[in-house]
Amino acid sequence: MAIAYYTAEGLKKLKDELHQLKTYERPKISQQIAEARDKGDLSENAEYDAAKEAQGHLEARIAKMEDLVANARLIDESQVDTSKVYILSRVRIKNKKTNAEVEYTLVAENEANLSEKKISVDSPIGKGLLGKKVGDTAQVQVPAGLIDFEILSIER
């Protein structure tokens, strides 16, 4: 699994979710399996089969999240360079065709949240902005076609 970069907030959320799955969800499913097993013949027990399937999904999710945590690297936000667009940059851009301005913070894929104006560095816009400076134009391929964005400001 590849190394992924996180903000302190993003890594805490990931660890909290993993803790929730291990501490609360895992015992809950074990209890469901035990209750279903107590009902008798396992060959015709749909509750048992469903609980075992849910356990398999949960264990796969826990394993994936453990890999994410193991390969997570914390980004030192104080070291973010504002001369160019990088991960954790807060970028104000202008659509050159519509003159609409918007501000985004570039984050790791798993921290992206459009309602918080956080976009992934792996998204089309994120990729198009990376490495650009104030005044540069980023040409971004989106489903609707090519869009030119002017970089108005870069902050941390």
Closest CA to 51 of 30, 67, 68: 30
Alpha-carbon gap, residue 46 to 136, rounded angstroms? 60
Residue ranges, CATH 3.10.50.30, the chain: 77-155
- Asked if 117 and 125 count as a contact pair (C-beta separation under 8 A), the reply is no
Contacting residues for 29 by C-beta, under 8 A, at least 6 apart: 51, 54, 55, 58
Counting every residue, how long is the chain?
A: 156
Q: In Å, how far are 44, 45, 74, 99, 114 from 18, measured between CA atoms? A: 33, 30, 17, 43, 23
Got the DSSP string for 3-22? -EEE-HHHHHHHHHHHHHII
CATH topology of domain 77-155: Chitinase A; domain 3 (3.10.50)
Phi, psi of 131 (to 5 degrees): 85, -5
pLDDT at 136: 92
pLDDT at 83: 83
The model's pLDDT over 36-50, given as tens digits with 9 standing for 90+, comes to 888 777 667 788 888
pLDDT at 10: 82
User: Considering the domain 4-74 in this protein, what is its CATH number?
Assistant: 1.10.287.180
Residue ranges, CATH 1.10.287.180, the chain: 4-74
Regions of the chain with pLDDT less than 70: 1-2, 42-43, 77, 79-81
pTM score, whole prediction: 0.63
